[in-house]
Amino acid sequence: MNDTLLTLLKQVDTPTVCNAIEVAQGKRGFNAFTRGTMLASHPDAPAMVGYARTAKIAAVLPPDESAEVIKSRRMDYYRHMAEGPRPALAVVEDIDFPNCIGAYWGEINTTVHKGFGLSGALTNGVMRDLGDLPDGFAVVAGSIGPSHGFVHVKEIGTLVTVFGLQIDNGDLVHADRHGALVIPPEVIPDLETAIHHLLATEKLILNPARKDGFDFEAFEIAWAAFEAART
């Protein structure tokens, strides 16, 4: 992914990227996206784009391993998040889902991850400390809650599932207040062109519809041009 594509991906929302992937693929049916409604810590923030740094946590029950093992894995987790290619996103599955209680993403953890150079966090779990989370580090989460419970790290760098979307460590992820998707590697060379084509095509219907005097006759003309451009 070059810098031009990265800049563009940060400027467009996740639904646009979802549609553009289908343009690049030349067909409908792309399905590597989240299902259900997620919550955004900063709804008006730009999209998060980055290579996934994955992990799994749990919080409902206390860990059944020794304190030494839990502490060592916790440090391994932070080392994992601090390393790897950039841009990067923390993608953390709470295995207690849908009964998550542990707000792993609060003021301290978000600030630490931002300091590591990550662009944000994607999780099916819980966030808290809204209003105190750092600017420039958005969280897209499954819920909001007050407690951290018995939160502890279970796995590092493994395949995770967030709202129906499977994400492997290193996958390129795009996320915002709509949810998230995984960008297929094979579309990356064509994705910038596909996004620009999609945006130009949408203007064929959006621009006329926003003008005064727009009626069904104008719609028919605009829609015909729109249909011809997108097929």
Q: Domain 31-183 adopts which CATH fold?
A: Glucose Oxidase; domain 1 (3.50.30)
Q: How confident is the model at residue 231 (pLDDT cuts 50, 70, 90)?
A: low
Chain mean pLDDT for the chain: 96
Residue 156 confidence (pLDDT) above 70? yes
Q: How confident is the model at residue 95 (pLDDT cuts 50, 70, 90)?
A: very high
Rounded (5°) CA angle 30-178-116: 100
Least confident of 2-16, 19-33, 156-170, 217-231: 217-231
Whole-model pTM? Answer: 0.94
Residue 114 CA, chain-centre distance (Å), reads 16
Q: How confident is the model at residue 230 (pLDDT cuts 50, 70, 90)?
A: confident
The reported pLDDT for the residue numbered 171 is: 98
Residue 229 confidence (pLDDT) above 90? no
Residues 44 and 206 sit within 8 Å (Cβ to Cβ):
no
pLDDT tens for each residue of 115-124: 999 999 999 9
d(CA 34, CA 32) in angstroms, rounded, equals: 7
CA separation (Å) from 19 to 56, 156, 183?
A: 30, 31, 11
The reported pLDDT for the residue numbered 185 is: 97
- Percent of the chain scoring above 90 in pLDDT: 97
Q: Which pair of structure tokens corresponds to residue 36? A: 């259900």
d(CA 33, CA 56) in angstroms, rounded, equals: 19
pLDDT tens for each residue of 65-83: 999 999 999 999 999 999 9
d(CA 102, CA 146) in angstroms, rounded, equals: 8
Residue range(s) occupied by CATH 3.50.30.40 in the chain: 31-183
Residue 199 confidence (pLDDT) above 90? yes
Residues 57 and 101 sit within 8 Å (Cβ to Cβ):
no
The reported pLDDT for the residue numbered 224 is: 94
